[in-house]
Structure 1
Amino acid sequence: MALSDLLPPDGVITGLSASSRKQVVQSLAEVAARFCNAKPRDIVDAVLERERLGSTGVGDGVAIPHARVAGVDRVFGVFARLRTPVDFDSIDGRPADLIIMLLAPEDSTAEHLKALARVSRVLRREDMRELLRGAADADALNAILGGEIASDAA
């Protein structure tokens, strides 16, 4: 599974401006709502409720906020590269600038976990993070995210 299988091309944002985790989630929820039957408010509520259970900041400037949401019929995500990193209570204490918000149907378990594992495995790679941070625009980000499977042996 390539990340491009999870991320619609119009679901990739470069240069998102936000000053807090909540603003990031709200901005990504607005984008995500275009790809499902969920309202942005419901997405925000579900993702922030999941954040209360434990941080989704995985370290190295990466966060993977996620939730199961009514109105979502398949696992998918939206990606943002932030202009300025924000605090996601990451395990390494660093703010995050690469964010993939994953959404899944309410009854999803295995597929949701598989997608989380895939995103985590790809974004754990330093070379991938550097490529994403250096991409000039959303088209370049999509190309990187679409081609990551070729350079990933896992």
Structure 2
Amino acid sequence: MSSDLSDLLVPELIVVGMPAASKKALFAQIGALVAPVLGVEARGVSEGLAAREKDGSTGFGGGVAIPHARVAGLPRIAVAIARLAQPIDFGSVDDAPVDVVVAMFSPPQAGGLHLKALARVARRLRDRALVAKLRGAGSPDAIYALLSDHGVRDAA
């Protein structure tokens, strides 16, 4: 099975050095980032992430979190990536603070597609060598290249 996530990634939603002091602040910033690009309400994104987080931490371990939400108005499943300026407490399974956040958004009716996409993302992020490379990536293009089979995007 391919490890390519380019069908889920939205290059404009990859951020290096995002400042966030808490999960709440992070979710608000992700909402503000995602809303204009995906054409949804920022509040709906941040509230969706916060509501899912109340069911249990999406802190995946190893400094990685995969917060996810179903958001009305989305045409497809989309992923945003934020490498944080400073790690924050996420209530992760291993109690490690999080500095790599891979947020996934699905239309409400995505059902099984949401779960399959979430499993693909989680499978990729179990690779500790990949996560180390994500931490060292100096740009959004470098992060995109690490998570796709296509290498760095064409500038054309």
Deviation for aligned residue 1:143: 1.4
Q: Which consecutive unaligned segments of at least 5 residues does structure 1 have?
A: 150-154
Deviation for aligned residue 1:132: 0.3
- The more displaced of 133-142 and 94-103 is 133-142
Q: For 1:38 and 1:110, how far apart are their aligned partners in 2?
A: 22
2:110 paired residue number: 108
Deviation for aligned residue 1:81: 0.5
2:6 corresponds to 1:4: yes
Q: For 1:25 and 1:7, how far apart are their aligned partners in 2?
A: 18
2:154 paired residue number: none
| TM-score under structure 2 length normalisation | 0.90
In structure 2, do the counterparts of structure 1 residues 123 and 37 end up closer, same or farther at CA, with 3 Å as the change threshold? same
1:45 paired residue number: 47
Q: For 1:34 and 1:113, how far apart are their aligned partners in 2?
A: 25
| 3-state secondary structure, aligned to 1:11 | strand
Contact 2:12–2:37 (CA under 8 A) maintained in structure 1: no
The aligned runs of 1:79-94 (5 Å cut-off) are 79-94=81-96
Superposition RMSD in Å = 1.6
| 3-state secondary structure, aligned to 2:16 | strand
1:152 paired residue number: none
1:16 paired residue number: 18
- Deviation string 1:98-145 (CA, Å, 9 cap, x unpaired) is 101111111111110011101100011011001101111112112112
Contact 2:40–2:74 (CA under 8 A) maintained in structure 1: yes
1:59 to 55, 61, 69: 61
2:121 paired residue number: 119
Q: For 2:109 and 2:50, how far apart are their aligned partners in 1?
A: 19
Q: For 1:6 and 1:26, how far apart are their aligned partners in 2?
A: 21
Q: Percent identity?
A: 41
> What is the letter of the counterpart of residue 130 of structure 1?
A
1:28 paired residue number: 30
Q: For 1:86 and 1:3, how far apart are their aligned partners in 2?
A: 25
Q: Which consecutive unaligned segments of at least 5 residues does structure 2 have?
A: 152-156
In structure 2, do the counterparts of structure 1 residues 123 and 148 end up closer, same or farther at CA, with 3 Å as the change threshold? farther
